[in-house]
Amino acid sequence: MRTTIVGLGLIGGSLAKDLRRLNFATELTGVEINETHAQKAIEIGLVDSVKPLEEAIKDTDIVILAIPVDKELQILPSILDGISENTTVIDLGSTKKTIVDSVKGHSKRRNFIPAHPMSGTENSGPEAALENLFKGKITILCDHKDSGPQHLALVEKMFQSLGMDIAYMTADEQDHSTAFVSHLPHAAAYALANAVQSKEDGKIIFDLASGGFRSTVRLAKSSGEMWHPIFRQNRKYVVESLDVYIKHLQEFSDCLKSEDDDKLWELIENANKIRSILDGENPHLIKNEEKLVKLYTK
Amino acid sequence: MRTTIVGLGLIGGSLAKDLRRLNFATELTGVEINETHAQKAIEIGLVDSVKPLEEAIKDTDIVILAIPVDKELQILPSILDGISENTTVIDLGSTKKTIVDSVKGHSKRRNFIPAHPMSGTENSGPEAALENLFKGKITILCDHKDSGPQHLALVEKMFQSLGMDIAYMTADEQDHSTAFVSHLPHAAAYALANAVQSKEDGKIIFDLASGGFRSTVRLAKSSGEMWHPIFRQNRKYVVESLDVYIKHLQEFSDCLKSEDDDKLWELIENANKIRSILDGENPHLIKNEEKLVKLYTK
């Protein structure tokens, strides 16, 4: 399969590694505006060649966009303009509604699959690329009825070969869910990093940064190039999630201030339930069949 | 060295493993009120025997308290009452001021070293015990001038043999710093877990829990038995840290609401600085020699 990956950073590079190893991609072409990244990608063998965008999207079977969501918005319509009738286009951005709206009514809209593989690290660039980054994770496919069945089938096959589970939802639903499970944790980490750095005695604090602090603040290392446009495109739902979070933090603080230690115990006990949810004994997965259908079937 | 560890959970158990391996402890006695934990600790060879507290603190060289801080408060005075003249007592709790105050003026106050090794995981119990849990981490020794030099030397030797760096500060300074680097991240994780669980469509959200969410919320699994008394004992500073954090989250949310995208970029860029701080290129460690002296010398 002739495969073109636009953007050879963490996500595009990791995908290149896996798709070649799995024999999904036989010919791998990259598009990368950062010269250093482009050279590095060739050097470490991520792709066979790096070409200009216009050239790379001609005569290829699948075009995969793995660039910041504001850049996607800029080039997605012209990519659909430039591909042949049978080429499949997929984007991997963290926001979906704005992207989908930008190609509404386009004559090749059915060639396009809006996707969001829920995987990543706080690092970026081709050297951050990892094998099996996607394995065992979930990918979201949005508004799948607006895509042609052949294109959808090809993309499903690709994600399944990567070992991913697939969830189907509308672009709006994905933006709402993702605000809570991904965008909010990033915003929370950025704010935590800023809060601790704002303390006058930060010098002491940093030297003591323990394991607990490290993991909670890890996402604050994530690049603004990727995350600034995500927050802007999903403004409404990120604000909603932040408001809910702040309310819960305020409740925690109020309990401490008013010495309501019983309530404080309840808050901790309720939070502890996240363990069984994250560790696989998810009661919702068993009980809520209606939601399951919505999530896991077409 | 005859060593008594009170509390055979994650911390006490991990310490037992290392102290035996390092030949620091030759005879290891445990105290554990949880029968199941006590049996498990014997079964997996963490300690040679489990004895009642009164018996275990007689004729021993060092008594190490590794129990929740509210339990420490209850038994520390009677432990000092019951030990012989030469026995060293050390506690490993996350809060220090309340503990230190509870034995102020005690005739054996100089036998006691208040310590806080900055290490742990979100798990608990003897089976959660890990080798090398403390290696490469920092331990805080508080108000060290109030302890006898022999006792201090023994405890320093113990932490150094575990591969830890030692920071010296007052109990009040430790409580303030620790509020920011440890207690706040825990409170933030608890609130994040509760915020996400409070969403009506939590069912969808959980199924999508991605890597980013997992690591940010990891600490929310930590037990209330340990953390509830920590928050209560360090109420003032935890509230201060929460207030600073909420202010930064509100600023982030306000930027989004008012579409102040330049300011949003600044917030992300500033948060990114945490990378170099956490990854060892700590500018403060080089520049601020005055603080260094305070932290790393006596």
Decide if pLDDT at B288 tops 90: no
Region of residue A143 (phi > 0: left; psi between -120 and 50: alpha; otherwise: beta):
left
| Cα angle A271-B268-A193, degrees, rounded to a multiple of 5 | 50
Closest residue, chain A, to B251 (C-alpha): A191
Q: Name the DSSP class of B4.
A: E
The DSSP bridge pattern shows strands B112-117 and B138-142 to be antiparallel
What's the CA gap between A291 and A90, in Å, rounded? 26
- Tens of pLDDT along B244-275? 999 999 999 999 999 999 999 999 999 999 88
Chain centre distance of CA A50: 24
CB A72 within 8 Å of CB A96: no
Nearest Cα to Cα of residue B218 among B188, B241, B180, B183: B188
Q: Name the DSSP class of B180.
A: I
- Tens of pLDDT along B162-206? 999 898 999 999 999 899 989 999 999 999 999 988 885 655 666
Indicate yes or no: CB of A204 within 8 angstroms of CB of B137: no
Q: Which of residues 49-108 of B touch A (CB under 8 A)?
A: none
Q: Which of A143-152, B74-83, B195-204 has the lowest mean pLDDT?
A: B195-204
pLDDT of the residue at A103: 98
Task: For B192-240, give the DSSP string.
Answer: HHHHHHHSTTHHHHHHT--HHHHHHHGGGGS-HHHHHHHHHHTHHHHHH
Q: Choose the CATH number for B174-296 among 3.60.20.30, 3.20.20.80, 1.10.10.1590, 1.10.3660.10.
A: 1.10.3660.10
Nearest Cα to Cα of residue A4 among A43, A37, A52, A44: A52
Decide if pLDDT at A25 tops 50: yes
- pTM of the prediction? 0.87
Indicate yes or no: CB of B217 within 8 angstroms of CB of A278: yes
Q: Which of residues 223-282 of A touch B (CB under 8 A)?
A: 223-224, 227-228, 231-232, 235, 238-239, 241-253, 256-257, 259, 261, 264-265, 267-275, 277-278, 282
CB B216 within 8 Å of CB A219: yes
Helices in chain A by DSSP H: which ranges? 10-21, 35-43, 53-56, 69-82, 97-102, 149-161, 171-178, 184-198, 202-207, 211-217, 224-233, 235-257, 261-272, 274-278, 283-287, 289-296
pLDDT of the residue at B281: 47
Q: Is A133 helix (H, G, I), strand (E, B) or coil?
A: coil
pLDDT bracket for residue B278 (50, 70, 90): confident
Q: Which of A9-18, B78-87, B203-212 has the lowest mean pLDDT?
A: B203-212
Decide if pLDDT at A43 tops 50: yes
Mean pLDDT of B226-242: 96
pLDDT of the residue at A205: 65
Q: Percent of chain B beyond pLDDT 70?
A: 90
CATH architecture of B2-170: 3-Layer(aba) Sandwich (3.40)
Nearest Cα to Cα of residue B244 among A200, A196, A230: A196
pLDDT bracket for residue B276 (50, 70, 90): confident
What's the CA gap between B229 and B61, in Å, rounded? 29
pLDDT bracket for residue A286 (50, 70, 90): very low
Mean pLDDT of A248-273: 96
Q: Looking at this predicted complex, what is its ipTM?
A: 0.87
Mean pLDDT of A198-215: 67
Q: Which helix (H) or strand (E) holds B36?
A: helix B35-43
pLDDT bracket for residue B114 (50, 70, 90): very high
Mean pLDDT of A8-20: 95
Indicate yes or no: CB of B249 within 8 angstroms of CB of A245: yes
pLDDT of the residue at B282: 44
Domain boundaries defined on chain A = 2-170, 174-296
Mean pLDDT of A237-253: 96
Calculate how close chain B gets to A11, using CA atoms only, in Å. 14
pLDDT of the residue at A292: 36
With a CB cutoff of 8 Å and minimum separation 6, the contacts of A173 are: B204
**CB atoms closer than 10 angstroms to residue B135:** 11
pLDDT bracket for residue B211 (50, 70, 90): low
CB A74 within 8 Å of CB A80: no
Decide if pLDDT at B284 tops 70: no
A177 close to B (CB below 8 A): yes
Closest residue, chain A, to B177 (C-alpha): A205
Q: What's the whole-number average pLDDT of chain B?
A: 89
Decide if pLDDT at A52 tops 60: yes
Q: Name the DSSP class of B52.
A: -
Q: Which of A23-27, A41-45, B202-206 has the lowest mean pLDDT?
A: B202-206
Indicate yes or no: CB of B177 within 8 angstroms of CB of A243: no
What's the CA gap between B181 and A207, in Å, rounded? 10
Query: Tell me, what amino acid is at B66?
Result: A
Residues in chain A with CB shorter than 8 Å from the CB of B182 are 210, 212-213
The DSSP bridge pattern shows strands A165-169 and B49-50 to be unpaired
Most confident region among A3-7, A42-46, A138-142, A191-195 by mean pLDDT: A3-7
Q: Is A197 helix (H, G, I), strand (E, B) or coil?
A: helix
Mean pLDDT of A235-245: 96
Decide if pLDDT at B42 tops 80: yes
pLDDT of the residue at B205: 66
Indicate yes or no: CB of B271 within 8 angstroms of CB of A181: no
pLDDT bracket for residue B49 (50, 70, 90): very high
